[in-house]
Amino acid sequence: METPELPGLAAGFGALLRRDLQLAWRQRGQAVNPLIFFVMVTALVPLAVGPEPALLTRLAPGMVWIMALLGTLLAADALFHEDFVDGALEHLVLSPQPLWLLVLAKVTAHWLVIGLPITLLSPLLGLMLALPDAGFMPLLVGLTLGTLVFSLLGAVGGALTVALGGRSVLLSLLVLPLYVPVLIFGTSAVTQAVAGGGIGGPLALLGAIAALALAVAPFAAAAALRAGIDG
pLDDT single digits (tens) 6-58 = 567 788 888 888 998 888 888 777 777 778 887 888 778 777 877 788 888 88
What's the pTM value of the predicted model, to 2 decimals? 0.88
Q: For residue 127, tell me if it sits in a domain.
A: yes
Q: For residue 185, tell me if it sits in a domain.
A: yes
Quote the CA–CA distance of 141 and 192 in Å, as a whole number: 14
Indicate whether 144 pLDDT > 90: yes
SS3 content of the chain, % helix, strand, coil (to 5): 85, 0, 15
CA dihedral 124, 130, 135, 139 (to 10 degrees): -40
Question: What is the pLDDT of the chain when averaged over all its residues?
Answer: 84
Q: For residue 25, tell me if it sits in a domain.
A: yes
Q: For residue 128, tell me if it sits in a domain.
A: yes
| Crossing angle of the two packed helices 28-49 and 53-76, in degrees rounded to 10 | 150
170 burial via Cβ count (<10 Å: 0-12, 13-18, 19+): exposed
Q: For residue 167, tell me if it sits in a domain.
A: yes
Tally of domains in the chain:
1
pLDDT for 2: 46
Q: For residue 1, tell me if it sits in a domain.
A: no
Q: For residue 123, tell me if it sits in a domain.
A: yes
pLDDT for 120: 92
Dihedral sign, CA of 43, 47, 50, 51? positive
Quote the CA–CA distance of 215 and 209 in Å, as a whole number: 10
Q: Residue 153 belongs to what domain range?
A: 6-230
Quote the CA–CA distance of 186 and 69 in Å, as a whole number: 11
Are 153 and 175 in contact, with CB atoms under 8 Å apart? yes
Dihedral sign, CA of 14, 18, 24, 28? positive
Q: For residue 102, tell me if it sits in a domain.
A: yes
Are 101 and 17 in contact, with CB atoms under 8 Å apart? no
Indicate whether 1 pLDDT > 50: no
Indicate whether 95 pLDDT > 90: no
C-alpha separations of 93 from 13, 28, 65, 78 in Å: 14, 26, 34, 17
Are 122 and 140 in contact, with CB atoms under 8 Å apart? yes
Are 119 and 143 in contact, with CB atoms under 8 Å apart? yes
pLDDT digits (tens, 9 = 90+) for 110-139: 999 989 999 998 888 888 888 888 999 999
